[in-house]
Amino acid sequence: MTCSALKMLSWCGAMAGLIAGGLVAPTSPAGAAGVLKVAMTAGDLPVTTGNPDQGFEGFRFVGWNLYDALINWDLSKSDTASDIKPGLATEWHIDPANHKRWIFTLRQGVKWHDGCDFSADDVIWNFQRISDPKAPQFFTQQFALSRAYLTNFDSIEKIDDHSVAITTKFVESLFPYDMSYVLMISRCRAQALNYDWTAYANQPSGTGPYRFAGMTAHERMELVPNNDYWDKARVPKQDRLVLLPTPEAATRTAALLSGQVNFIEAPAPDAIPVLKRANMQIVSNVYPHNWPYILNFTRGPFTDLRVRQAANYAINRDDVVDLVGGMATPQYAEVPPSLPYYGHPVIYKFDKAKARALLKEANCLPCKVTLAISTSGSGQMQSLPMNELVKQQLEDAGFEVTLNVMDWNALLDVSRSGVPKYPNVDGMNASRGLLDPVSAIIKPVATAYWSPAGSNWGHFGTPEADGLVKQIFEEFEPEKRLALLTRLHEYESEQALMIFVVHDLNPRALSPKVHGFVQAQNWFQDLTPITVDP
């Protein structure tokens, strides 16, 4: 052996010893053991200026972590459907003398992340910011992102430092649900920055359980616990929360397997066995989500009830569930059976012969329809293969389907603009959030919510539906209201309001080092109880 070879060998041995001793081993930043790193499905970081974009995922990871609404969601349980709970308002009730006036009692002792005190003036200021174009703090971006929840908002007034009253345009007993989607930002910080919203986006201030710690545009956002959070049970248990937009399912899977992240949203169903073999935790739960085709009621074949029923009978939902690796449940009605107003809807079991007979009776055989679909998107599941399968199933029953494929943002435009702008689209495949009864079953049928102002995309409207909605809105007795909601849900099923396909089970994959996550039956999730092993 030559001298240089001996030197090399001894150098390698010394290095091996140092590495074994941990002297030159790759080091982690201080406290990295408690860092929760999440790969989101979003294509970009959600905005931080109040209500986030990027769909409900924006609310899930940024909105609810930085901010609170007057009313929050209870995300602490996985075995029951989650409902609203007090947030920045400790209590709310209808004015007995005026059923359009809601009185909210505000929480005292709450501080913004910037140290200012939360008060009634902040609430007034926030509502003006998203509804009053003459107010200096009016921000068009936030107006657009909040508009859908302000359909019935008319005005707001300060009663005293710790209570406000909100007046609605029409009587609506379910109005508090809308208030759970309006997040409150710090007036103090916005004024200190002279309403420079770009600057605010880089130093946002809320009252939520996390404080903003930094952001690299389009790449990552970091949040740290707000140890002064008013709800002591929800002070985050990790050191830091890192959010990474990772729209590709395969990339998210690879990131988890390689240890780049320790929490991923929506792994590809086909990759779940691989993740299980790598000892990853797969968690899933029913939640108020559906993956239907929303139909056009102004023109085309779906104006005929028999055609809508035929389409529902044509769907072999078990095959769709198989396609997504069992990470879905068959959808036979608008909402999943776990919701209290499910009732006894018509069950459109797969029956190809019946579907064909209905099409023949409707004199629509072959029945040509154009369906708008997206290549991917928040809640869209495995969009392309699922749509291809449904197309085949519909065609087997006598439909002739043209899929109009577009990207997610283009489909969102179709969704927001509605049939007035897209009259030639017979149906649209857009997953729906069904968190509250108004979003789930009232908005899709009430004429007051016709697109583009509301989310009744296809302009469904019948006197029966409007009558039931009116009764629901004017009923303040919960039990009686529940009966009316159940009847409305059953009515929508009888009307074959949509082509019902599946409810997602919302799978997530977690590193074995992650503990304490409780997957609520909700689009929103609480990350605060999570701990991460070193």
Partner 1 sequence: MNERVVVAPGAIPADSEIADNEVDLAPAIKVRGYWQSVLHRLRYDWMTIGFGLVVLAIVIAAIAAPLIAPFDPYQQSIVGRLKPFGWRGHPWGTDELGRDMMSRLIYGGRISLLMGLAPVLIATVVGGMLGVIGGFAGRVANTAIMRTMDVFYAFPSILLAVAISGAMGGGMINGIISLSLVFTPAMCRVAETATAQVKNLDYIEAARASGASTLTIIRHHVLGNVLGPVFIYASSLVSVSILLASGLSFLGLGVQPPEPDWGLMLSTLRQSLYVDPLGCALPGIAIFVTSICFNLVSDGVRGAMDVRG
By CB under 8 A, is residue 391 in contact with partner 1?
A: yes
By CB under 8 A, is residue 322 in contact with partner 1?
A: yes
- Applying CB under 8 A, among 116, 150, 192, 274 the residue interacting with partner 1 is 274
Indicate the burial class of 185 (C-beta count within 10 angstroms; 0-12, 13-18, 19 or more): buried
By CB under 8 A, is residue 532 in contact with partner 1?
A: no
Nearest approach, Cβ of residue 149 and partner 1 (Å): 30
User: 240 with 35: CB under 8 angstroms?
Assistant: yes
Whether residue 204 is preceded by a cis peptide bond, meaning omega within 30 degrees of 0, is no
- Stretch touching partner 1 by CB under 8 A, among 239-247, 378-386, 474-482, 498-506: 378-386
User: 150 with 166: CB under 8 angstroms?
Assistant: no
Backbone angles phi, psi at 98, to 5 degrees: -150, 105
- Applying CB under 8 A, among 10, 392, 424, 462 the residue interacting with partner 1 is 392
C-alpha 384/C-alpha 338 separation (Å) is 28
Give the count of residues interacting with partner 1 (CB under 8 A). 28
Write out the DSSP string of 190-227.
HHHTTT-HHHHHHS---SSSEEEEEEETTTEEEEEE-T
Backbone angles phi, psi at 220, to 5 degrees: -155, 150
By CB under 8 A, is residue 389 in contact with partner 1?
A: yes
Q: Which alpha helices (DSSP H) does 285-351 contain, by range?
A: 305-314, 317-323
Q: Which helix (H) or strand (E) holds 168?
A: strand 163-168
Q: Count CB-CB contacts under 10 A for residue 216.
A: 10
User: 28 with 231: CB under 8 angstroms?
Assistant: no
Residues 302-321: x/- map of binding to partner 1 (CB under 8 A)? -----------------x--
Nearest approach, Cβ of residue 412 and partner 1 (Å): 14
C-alpha 105/C-alpha 88 separation (Å) is 9
By CB under 8 A, is residue 186 in contact with partner 1?
A: no
- Stretch touching partner 1 by CB under 8 A, among 100-108, 357-365, 379-387, 518-526: 379-387
Nearest to partner 1 of 235, 410 (CB atom): 410
By CB under 8 A, is residue 273 in contact with partner 1?
A: yes
Nearest approach, Cβ of residue 38 and partner 1 (Å): 20
In one-letter notation, the amino acid at residue 58 is G
For the segment 252-271, give every residue that binds partner 1 (CB under 8 A).
253, 268, 270-271
By CB under 8 A, is residue 250 in contact with partner 1?
A: yes
By CB under 8 A, is residue 326 in contact with partner 1?
A: no
- Applying CB under 8 A, among 259, 326, 337, 385 the residue interacting with partner 1 is 385
Residues 406-435: x/- map of binding to partner 1 (CB under 8 A)? xx--x-------------------------
- Stretch touching partner 1 by CB under 8 A, among 307-315, 374-382, 448-456, 520-528: 374-382
Indicate the burial class of 193 (C-beta count within 10 angstroms; 0-12, 13-18, 19 or more): middle
β-strands 35-40, 263-265 pairing: parallel
Nearest approach, Cβ of residue 249 and partner 1 (Å): 5
Residues that bind partner 1 (CB under 8 A): 248-250, 253, 268, 270-271, 273-274, 319, 322-323, 374-375, 382, 384-385, 387-389, 391-392, 403-407, 410
